[in-house]
Structure 1
């Protein structure tokens, strides 16, 4: 029996251990999708205790605490003392066997707090005290965590109306990590949202100085904001939708949709929503192509399905689920439309539903581009599928239907600066996956080839795919 979370955690063979320790573990981190607020980095935030570091804004932890019967007051109420909140989290942990949160939490305890004690209600005080000592060290600040985690590039998610003042402040602070905004277009895409009209008129319209009444106005407003984001180094556009649809639609029809609903005249039909969103995603894809940017598409989540809790706590509070709506035709039509226009950018597609892994892996193979390896990517296991078995399934599907060696690895998709061990988690599973194939005699035990394969998937492929190589070189000078 292996020791608990030892140095060979998740590494079942000698080949896997060699690949991880000698190659994957040595690679720095490029995190292309994060929900960390740049203000924390700009102000070089210091965290007072584990409750503030772990429980302030992590809906994945909140979901598990709710599943254990913890009261909402203790989870998100705000007035409950941090030590009490942490106790409730610790008491839940022994029941989380097989859940990635159990693994992530203990990796974080080991890497940042030098603590190797299994977390439980009985050990909560010991862990709390040991973490408190670590958090009091001079380098245990936001920028210090980025530095010790060897994060070379971090991309945050930012609304098109954001003035990006905190990104400017990060640059002025001289942070060693390249921190870049991502153009997160969700608010402009969700035309069915009752707040869409106000957002377009008074948020996006004013930020872009455009009076939005037609589809052309929508594009112009977004184009101006894309220019603004570009000045701060942005290289990614992110679209998060429940399902992907792409329709042939005339401009006058789009004008009718925008003009009607921006003036509060009813709620758009499903078809109108799909036509508008598809046209907007097509526009954003074309903009990415022209700018040399990457288009990220996250789809397959049902958001805020508990309407009572949504009314109380708002979005991103842990009341979401997997959608079973089919996006295969929509994704393929969107990629095909961009390809026919000779403006297919680099694209990463993240399905929240694991049943869509094979669907997307098969689609991306139809849109290879001359001289460009892996131009359209099946993103790493995302949200609900970002588990040990979800990661293995994504690797197995990609390897079976495409070229695993062109994969761009993983992202944290987290609101916490302490989540970077998720890259370690992914790399260990990756090395175990490849090591098992080698030890079965299905792939040669050639050190040079295997080293390049693991190091590329862990970091190098992403640096090339997102075009961050020059940025990192400039930062290193």
Structure 2
């Protein structure tokens, strides 16, 4: 039995056969945090730490768990020592997806097919940097290696999208790189709300004194994004909120926020309800897929978060007692006016998987013939694990149509992260292969081949382009 060979994680003969359909599929990565400037400039990497560890809070979090000093994680320690600390950590990470991802990345990107061990750190460091010294590994080379056909970046609503313009005009870039509209700062709970509204007014040339002015200005920016190839929006909420609102009430909350007056938690909930309902109606009007990530408790370690900033590895799963009520009423408010956009919902807390899949099934009816217009998104963040992926797909199948699932995404800032798609595909094929072996579904390639290929690529391509 060989670790990390062609049959890695493929547990049955059926799984191995199904993987033959999946392994060479292209990638439609509809949500990530890659930098479009880096894609355009395509600068080669020269040190493995810059490529493999920089900005990766998954790895930082695991290193802290292993007792690694912060200087070796986010500090000014020599790169070789940071690499040594990472290798010492990941070599012990049995059961963590980072153990699998790291081996897949070494093998696929660098051709190094060996087990990661602490005593090999220096050999690995030298060999990896020697490969990088050849100047052939760059953002675009990594995208091409992974057969990426579409990249959906995550972009501030006031961004000029100049790097997207440059990418679109460059005929040597043989993939689509599209912006995603991510308006976190238009929510009054955001610390930068007042500054954002000032900048939004300048950007759009509008005077903003009321809620309707905010919505009109946001529509200007949505139209700008759509003109630059945008296919989707995204947002992240701590909790899903829906409270019926009146325009006058939202005007009052806006006035308080812009004046720097303290806002109550109720004010924040009403504003989230009102502005997000208005945005979703615009997303429906402009044909944007609407992605919602919810359930994160952010920056819990206040001392280190204050020192290092957001996205440094101090976030966790949240909970919400009244999720079903708020989610159903929010979706109904859109469906009742026939303004429900195509949506992808991701929960960070897996205990809500069945609730989310079940609720979305209430609102699938549509006159456009869209299959699964409300998607239960792939296991997100702490759930892009073997257990998390299987649990998400189990509930998707039991409450809806897994055949319509749009599959995996990286949701990453790293150009090395595309092996997560292969990881997902292996788990998918073993999951479905178990059904075949148990005779729960037919062993029929005419049925199984399009099923697997759809989830790996075609469903996402159709969902985001229709």
TM interval, short-chain normalised: over 0.9
Say if 2:378 and 2:409, in contact at 8 Å, map to a contact too: yes
Say if 1:139 and 1:145, in contact at 8 Å, map to a contact too: no
Q: Counterparts of 1:218 and 1:17 in 2: how far apart (Å)?
A: 53
Count of aligned residue pairs for this structure pair: 462
Secondary structure of the equivalent of 1:350?
Answer: strand
For structure 2, the residue ranges without an aligned partner over 5 or more in a row are none
Summarize the Cα distance change of 1:117–1:409 in structure 2 as closer, same or farther, 3 Å threshold. same
Q: Choose from 283, 288, 291 the match for 1:293.
A: 288
Q: Counterparts of 2:328 and 2:6 in 1: how far apart (Å)?
A: 43
Q: Counterparts of 1:193 and 1:140 in 2: how far apart (Å)?
A: 38
Q: Counterparts of 1:451 and 1:139 in 2: how far apart (Å)?
A: 35
Deviations 1:210-252 (A, max 9, x none): 3322111111121111111112100111111001111111110
Deviation at residue 133 of structure 1 after TM alignment? 3.3
Is 1:269 aligned with 2:264?
yes
Deviation at residue 328 of structure 1 after TM alignment? 2.1
Residue of structure 1 equivalent to 2:104 = 107
For structure 1, the residue ranges without an aligned partner over 5 or more in a row are 469-477
Residue of structure 1 equivalent to 2:364 = 368
Residue of structure 2 equivalent to 1:439 = 437
Secondary structure of the equivalent of 1:452?
Answer: helix
Which one is further off, 129-138 or 404-413?
129-138
Is 1:132 aligned with 2:129?
yes
Q: Counterparts of 1:135 and 1:283 in 2: how far apart (Å)?
A: 48
Is 1:315 aligned with 2:314?
no
Deviations 1:46-77 (A, max 9, x none): 11121000111111111011111111122111
Say if 1:115 and 1:130, in contact at 8 Å, map to a contact too: no
Q: Counterparts of 1:137 and 1:7 in 2: how far apart (Å)?
A: 27
Deviation at residue 6 of structure 1 after TM alignment? 1.3
Deviations 1:402-447 (A, max 9, x none): 1110100010011000100100000110010100001101111001
Q: Counterparts of 1:389 and 1:204 in 2: how far apart (Å)?
A: 42
Residue of structure 1 equivalent to 2:449 = 451
Q: Choose from 186, 193, 197 the match for 1:196.
A: 193
Q: Choose from 57, 62, 66 the match for 1:68.
A: 66
1:371-382 map, 5 Å: 371-382=369-380
Secondary structure of the equivalent of 1:123?
Answer: helix
Say if 1:239 and 1:281, in contact at 8 Å, map to a contact too: no
Secondary structure of the equivalent of 2:465?
Answer: coil
Which one is further off, 90-99 or 115-124?
115-124
Q: Choose from 227, 233, 238 the match for 1:237.
A: 233
Is 1:210 aligned with 2:209?
no
Residue of structure 2 equivalent to 1:153 = 150
Q: Counterparts of 2:386 and 2:65 in 1: how far apart (Å)?
A: 20
Q: Counterparts of 1:209 and 1:71 in 2: how far apart (Å)?
A: 49
Is 1:305 aligned with 2:292?
no
Is 1:467 aligned with 2:462?
no
**TM-score, scaled relative to structure 2:** 0.97
**TM-score, scaled relative to structure 1:** 0.95
Say if 1:381 and 1:394, in contact at 8 Å, map to a contact too: yes
Deviation at residue 135 of structure 1 after TM alignment? 2.4
Secondary structure of the equivalent of 2:31?
Answer: coil
Let me know the Cα RMSD of the aligned residues. Answer: 1.3
